[in-house]
Amino acid sequence: MGEARPVRTPASAEPGGVRAAAVRVVERTIGGRSPADRLLARAARAFDERDRRLLSELVYGVLRWRLRLDVVLARAARRPLEEIDRELVSVLEVAAFQLLFLDRVPAHAAVGEAVTEARRRRGPGAAGFANAVLRRVAGAPELAAWPVEEPDPVRRAALEHSHPELLVRRWFDRFGSEAAERALAAGNGPRALHLLAFADRGGRAALALALAAEGVTTAPSRLSPLGLVVTSGAPLATPAFARGDFYVQDEASQAAALVPEPRAGELVLDAAAAPGGKGIALLAREPAANVVFSDLSLARVGRVAENLERLGRQAPLLVADATAPPWRAAFDRVVLDAPCTGTGTLRRHPELRWRFRASELERLAGRALEMLRALAGAVAPGGCLVHLTCSVEAEENERVAERFLAADGRFSPDPLEGLAPELAGARAGPGRWRTLPGDGHDGFSVAVFRRAR
């Protein structure tokens, strides 16, 4: 399928309403490397709060469901998608998403604005084509009316769940079809809000009571011993948020940060810290741990400082390169949240699925290994080095661990004993912990290396 070309109109002069803005954000996200949330935030400045919500829903919806929408559009257009003018593809995708997924959006509004945008881009003929295609979709506005007709199970799953076939085939081979389909479905599921409570403020039980008094209902996390899952209400608008009683963090990210369990008095280096979630989770679990937050740039360290300030926490903040750390044998625990393809976070960052490449796997794995080798020298004898990613790919996790252990004989896999019950079930082998995307949470992988005394 051809990728839509980004529209080059200056932002101050961009025409159209919220739907036209959604088309431009989708095009720029697919055609570039910028995160969708950054492009979305820039486009949202032109709209009020209601239209901002619609803009976000349209952009993330299309980014998640592109392949499935394209199946519908190809059948409604009665021609392969490759034969449709590239300038029209994202226009049709945004309109089709509204027709198939958003009951509250009137069909005439979705079709009318798409036809107007098609005419602006490619003239009256394109407008007539868009009108005919979208009226066919509007006549059968349910996915069930446009089934995927594909005999190959991997290809069918890729189209039905709207993930690239390369990634789907890998997951089928590695996790089996059932686990892979659950992870694929999770990539398109609702984005639950997860909260991290603090042990020194009463833990999640006290936080749940405080939020309930402020109109927010929650349920305990099944993955994190300090996590709450929001079931209703607006926690970010509560006095509890203003007081710094909780930090917003996916429950799987919380859990991954607590492998292995922190200890009182432990000296910890969070080596690539921004925005601070892993080190904050350690402090939430064990307030008597001593966490040093470090990152490559002053701007990134500033993001950590902002979060710590809201939470009322103090900790050393340093600008340092993880590939050249200025410490030797100083820390009981060094944590590296390594750069990766992010395949465990496709629910929150759907654009990453369309950027997945085998070459990126190798590049990022090499970068992570370089950082691990450098940080190994900062671990004190008897201490541990924690390699953590939001990827579930073997090249970025197990293979990196194998290469690191082969290169540095001072380290061996940690047995991961004494984990909290919520954490223990995700152990995946010696020194390894993993949870796949599912049940409203992301996927994370952890490897823990213990340095010999």
CA dihedral 241, 245, 247, 252 (to 10 degrees): -130
275 and 421 fall within a common domain: yes
Q: Is the pLDDT of residue 247 over 70?
A: yes
**What confidence score (pLDDT) does residue 141 get?**
95
* Mean pLDDT estimate for the chain: 94
Q: How far is CA 237 from CA 27, 243, 245, 276, in A?
A: 33, 11, 13, 22
The greatest distance separating any two alpha carbons of the chain, rounded to the nearest whole angstrom, comes to 76
423 & 317 share domain? yes
**Final residue in a domain of this structure, among 206, 223, 248:** 248
Residues 6+ apart with CB under 8 A from 327: 269, 377, 378
Same domain, 203 and 95: no
Residue 69 shares a structural domain with residue 114: yes
Q: Is the pLDDT of residue 5 over 80?
A: no
Estimate the crossing angle of helix 86-101 against helix 18-31, to 10 degrees.
Answer: 120
Strands 217-220 and 227-232: antiparallel
Domain membership flag for residue 407: yes
**Percentage of residues in the chain having pLDDT higher than 70:** 96
Q: Are 387 and 297 in the same domain?
A: yes
Is residue 220 assigned to a domain? yes
Same domain, 212 and 264: no
With vertex at residue 329, the alpha carbon angle to CA 328 and CA 331, rounded to the nearest 5 degrees, is 110
pLDDT of amino acid 232: 97
- Is 367 a member of any domain? yes
Of all residues in the chain, what percent are helix, strand and coil, respectively (each to 5)?
50, 15, 35
Residue 198 within any structural domain of the chain:
yes
40 with 80, same domain?
Answer: yes
d(CA 374, CA 383): 15
Q: What is the pLDDT of residue 188?
A: 95
**Where residue 210 sits, what CATH number does that domain have?**
3.30.70.1170
Is 4 among the domain residues? no
- Domain-located, residue 3: no
| Helix H or strand E encompassing 86 | helix 86-101
User: 194-196 and 227-232: which strand pairing?
Assistant: antiparallel
**What's the domain range around 122?**
11-145
Residues pairing with 248 in the sheet: 195
Please determine, for residue 439, whether its predicted confidence score (pLDDT) is greater than 90: no
What are the pLDDT digits (tens) for 194-245? 999 999 999 999 999 999 999 999 999 999 999 999 999 999 999 999 999 9
Q: Are the C-beta atoms of residues 416 and 259 closer than 8 Å to each other?
A: yes
71 and 182 assigned to the same domain? no
pLDDT-derived band at 12 (thresholds 50, 70, 90) equals very low
Assign residue 260 the CATH number of its domain.
Answer: 3.40.50.150
Each residue of 340-373: pLDDT tens digit?
999 999 999 999 999 999 999 999 999 999 999 9
What is the mean pLDDT of the segment spanning 187-200? 93
Q: What is the DSSP letter of 327?
A: -
Mean pLDDT score, 39-54: 94
pLDDT-based confidence at 15, cuts 50/70/90? low
Let me know whether 16 and 62 are in one domain.
yes
Is 295 exposed, middle or buried, given 0-12, 13-18 or 19+ CB atoms closer than 10 A? buried
pLDDT for 138-147, tens place per residue?
999 999 999 9
Tokens of 396: 């970025």
**The pair of three-digit structure tokens given for residue 124, joined into one six-digit string:** 């009256």
Do 384 and 277 share a domain, yes or no?
A: yes
Residues taking part in catalysis: 390
Distances (CA, A) of 134 to 156, 265, 401, 432: 24, 63, 50, 49
Q: Do residues 90 and 163 both lie within one domain?
A: no
Does residue 126 share a domain with residue 111?
Answer: yes
Is 1 among the domain residues? no
For the stretch 259-311, pLDDT in tens is: 999 999 999 999 999 999 999 999 999 999 999 999 999 999 999 999 999 99
CATH classification at residue 64:
1.10.940.10
pLDDT, tens only, 381-426: 999 999 999 999 999 999 999 999 999 999 999 999 999 999 999 9
Grade residue 14 by pLDDT with cuts at 50, 70 and 90: low
Structural domain count, the chain: 4
Task: Give residue 417's pLDDT.
Answer: 92
Confidence at residue 105, expressed as pLDDT on a 0 to 100 scale: 81
Average pLDDT over residues 187-194: 90
In a domain, 2, yes or no: no
Q: Indicate the pLDDT class of residue 103, thresholds 50, 70 and 90.
A: confident
How far is the C-alpha of 292 from the C-alpha of 98, rounded, in Å? 47
CB contact at 8 A, 343 and 394: no
- Domain end point (choices 225, 248, 271): 248
CA 282 to CA 218: how far, in whole Å?
22
